[in-house]
Structures are given as C-alpha cells and as structure tokens.
Amino acid sequence: MITLKEALKLSKEELENFKNDLKAKIEANTDLNAYIDVKNVGEGVPVAIKDNIQVKDWSVTSGSNILQGYIAPYNATVIEKMKAAGISPFGRTNMDEFAMGSTTESSFYGKTLNPHAKDCVPGGSSGGSAAAVAAGLAIAALGSDTGGSIRQPAAFCGIVGMKPTYGRVSRYGLGAYASSLDQIGPMTQNVEDAAILYDIISGHDAKDSTSADMNDKVSDKLDANRKLRIAILPKYIENASDDVKKAYQKAVDALKALGHEIVEKEMMDAKFDISAYYITATAEATTNLARYDGIRYGNRVVGKDLNDTFIQTRSNGFGDEVKRRILLGNFVLSSGYYEAYYVKAQKTRHIIKDEYAKIFEDVDLILSPVAPTTANKFGALSNPMDMYLSDIYTISVNLAGLPAISLPISKSDDNMPVGLQLIAKPYDEQTLFDGALGLEKQIDYTN
C-alpha cells in the first residue's frame, strides 16, 4: 500500500486508478467488516473516517442503532481541513457503539475482525479504522481516542495511532462520548504519515471552545536524530504479559542504541486511573447521550405518549454497554453520591496530571505499554470489568490531556503485533513524533 505522503503526490488520473483498485480490494475483504460503507466523494486522496465523525450528507451513526437514518448536516472541522489539503473522506469505519469499548464487538453493524488473526479482536473502539489500515484497505484513517481508542487498536493491528494533546484537534462534528477526554487523531502505516495527517487536522478552531490557540506544525521539522531523556516504568509494567514485557525491553534497548538517556520512574497504581476514568467518562457520556430522545436525531420508536416514546426509543436504540454506562453515569452524578464518586474522581484526575507533570520536569518522553496483552480472542472480555481493566495503560493519558503515539514494536510468539506508546508533555507533539520516528527506524517490528 502506498503511504499518505506518496498518495498526496499522485496525479488526478493515478489517484482515480488507485481508488478503483482500492475499492476492489475492499470488496474482496468484506469479511473483515472494517468499513460500514464505502463512498467515493471528491477527488482527493482517500482517507477512511470513523463513524462518529461527521461528513456532510453522509450517514453518521457512532455504530449505534439509535442513529440509523441520521444524516450529517455539516462537515466536522477535521473534514474541512482534510479537504483543503487534498484529502477526501472515503468510507465510514466500524466502531464500538458510541466509542464505548476496547474490542469493536459492541457495534450495531457487528464485530470487525483483526487482519492478523480473524479469531481475534482488532481492538477498539476505532477497530474498523485500524483493521482497514492494517489490511491495506485504507492509506490512512481517522479515529477518536477517549481512553485509548486510537492507540490500542493500532497496537493490536500493528499500525501507528496517535492521540493529540487535548485541545489540539477540533472536536466540532465529533459525536461526543466524554467531552473532556475525546480527541480525534491519525491512524496510519507509519510515523511520518501520522505526523502529516496530524498537521492537516490540527489547529485552532473557534467552533470548539476547548480548542487551543496554537497552529504550530511538526512534519516538515521531523528529526529522528534528536537525543532525548526518556522515562521507563519498570514497576508499572509488572502486570503486562510476557509478550508485552519482551517488547518493552526491545524498545528500551533500541532507545539506548539510539543514544537516548533512559531514566527509571514510577507511576502510582493504575487501578486508580481505571476508577477515575470510568466515573468521569460515564458521567459525561450520560449527559452527552441524553440528546438521543427519538425526537431530534435518527431512530424513533413511537410510544403511547411522549415519555413512553423516549423510553421505547432509548430502550430499543442503545445496546447493552451503552445502557450500562448511562446507568453508571447517572448513579455517580446523583445527589448523595456525587461527592463520593464524581468529585473524588476529579481529585484523582488532578493527582494523575500532577504525577505526569512531575515526571516531565525531568524527561522529554515516557515509554509505556499500550495494552497489557496482545489482541484477545472474541468474547474473552465479555465481563465488562475485565474489559475496563484492559484499558489501564491508556486512560491516564486522556485524564491528563497528554499527546501519545502507539507504534508497532514486535510480534508475539503467536505472531500477533505488540505496540508500545511514547507519551509527551502537553503540546510537545514535535518531540513525540521525533522520538517515535527514531524508534520506528531503529526497530524491525516483524520479529
């Protein structure tokens, strides 16, 4: 598959031929269920779009039954920016319903398969985007990351996935899950493409009140030879699988060989991250999902009166995981429990942020696992608590609003990809990409 960098240089005619080949390839691989549908709009370089990002006049459903029939009335800011850069949205990719999940099993459209092993999950929630890129069914894709949904499927599928600093990329036109955590980001074949796509979609947007007033770009300044101070977390990785630990050691050796300075640091027990995240995310999700009432958007089940219409629509339209989170979110926000759960989660969030800030006083980057294991088999995380616990290495990054990039490091004994992430200071995407590019060049991921 050609890279995004190469595709952006193709002539109109070359691009047209390429798109036709790509469509045929997608047609031959529909069993993966990476795309919900494929559309060929515009003349630009085709990039796949997660089904929670609005493309004007396209259906957009966040993988949910409740949004069937809803047509996006406008383009998300990232789509406008891509179009201006010669990219055209090309198909909607599958995802966990409302981006809630780590496996893409909760989609209304059925599960997506991992191209490396079809009995394994592609990760989630941006599993369709990851599988499409990994299988050569997309040059690149957009995903969204609230607690790991770009980085973890990227790691499970052996591609690059990057979550920008909170506020770097406009959320205007992104279906909201947890607004204080959500970021759109690139999912690509390599680090340089991620930097190129990040440059295209990032920048200040007056339509998003949390958008940072910064427009600096990274891709033309990439420097794989910078010498950095990088923190490693020996204690923190103890609960990871042997495959992940091995990859970690491989990455540490590669970073040393590159001449980086390696510094050992500690992080507090990640179990607090899980609690703080699942309280914060469900509280915000409850609020965001209240708008799906059968009146304004998508599907409606008409009941005997207005209240019954709300109940029937929501009971019928939302899947089990979404309902579970709406219940949880309402519980943690309810009077009498608010202080015990929500307020405490916010305090924990501050502690996590401070903890990162303290480490970053001394280092440029942190090397961390993305997930405790490689891609699991379908159904293995059917207990919701097990699924939540699998997010331990990604969610603190969102709670602290930091930029991070997941890249392929090695293959496990059973030949599944293992990805690790680098994490940087807020707004220091340049160092993040520089470090990742060096590591990518140093490492042969296929062994």
**Is the Cα torsion angle 125, 147, 195, 62 positive or negative in sign?**
positive
How far, in Å, are 213, 255, 285, 382 from residue 322 at the CA level? 33, 41, 9, 14
Rounded to the nearest 10°, the torsion over CA 8, 71, 185, 392 is -150
Candidate residues 54, 106, 146, 368; the one interacting with ligand GLN per rule CB under 6 A: 146
Rounded to the nearest 10°, the torsion over CA 57, 61, 62, 66 is 150
CA atoms within 13 A of residue 133's CA, in its CB half-sphere: 33
How far, in Å, are 213, 220, 373, 418, 429 from residue 409 at the CA level? 34, 25, 13, 6, 20
Candidate residues 281, 326, 367, 437; the one interacting with ligand GLN per rule CB under 6 A: 281
Q: Which amino acid is at 135?
A: A
**Is the Cα torsion angle 212, 214, 220, 221 positive or negative in sign?**
negative
Min dist CB 319 to ligand GLN, Å, is 13
Candidate residues 148, 167, 186, 329; the one interacting with ligand GLN per rule CB under 6 A: 148
Min dist CB 99 to ligand GLN, Å, is 4
**101 belongs to the binding site for ligand GLN (CB under 6 A):** yes
Candidate residues 75, 94, 106, 149; the one interacting with ligand GLN per rule CB under 6 A: 149
CA 433 to chain centre: 17
Q: Is 125 a catalytic residue?
A: yes
- Of 26 and 178, CB closest to ligand GLN: 178
**406 belongs to the binding site for ligand GLN (CB under 6 A):** no
**183 belongs to the binding site for ligand GLN (CB under 6 A):** no
Q: Is 50 a catalytic residue?
A: yes
- Of 50 and 411, CB closest to ligand GLN: 50
From the candidates 107, 149, 170, 412, give the one annotated as an active-site residue.
149
The residue of the chain with the least Cβ separation from ligand GLN equals: 149
Report the phi/psi class of residue 90: left, alpha or beta, with left for phi > 0 and alpha for psi in -120 to 50.
beta
Choose one: 94-102, 129-137, 211-219, 438-446; the region binding ligand GLN (CB under 6 A): 94-102
Identify whether the C-beta of residue 420 lies closer than 8 Å to the C-beta of residue 367.
Answer: yes
Q: Is 149 a catalytic residue?
A: yes
Site map (CB under 6 A) of ligand GLN, residues 323-362, x = contact: ----------------------------------------
Give me the active site residues, please.
50, 125, 149
Binding site for ligand GLN (CB under 6 A): 99-102, 125, 145-149, 177, 281, 391
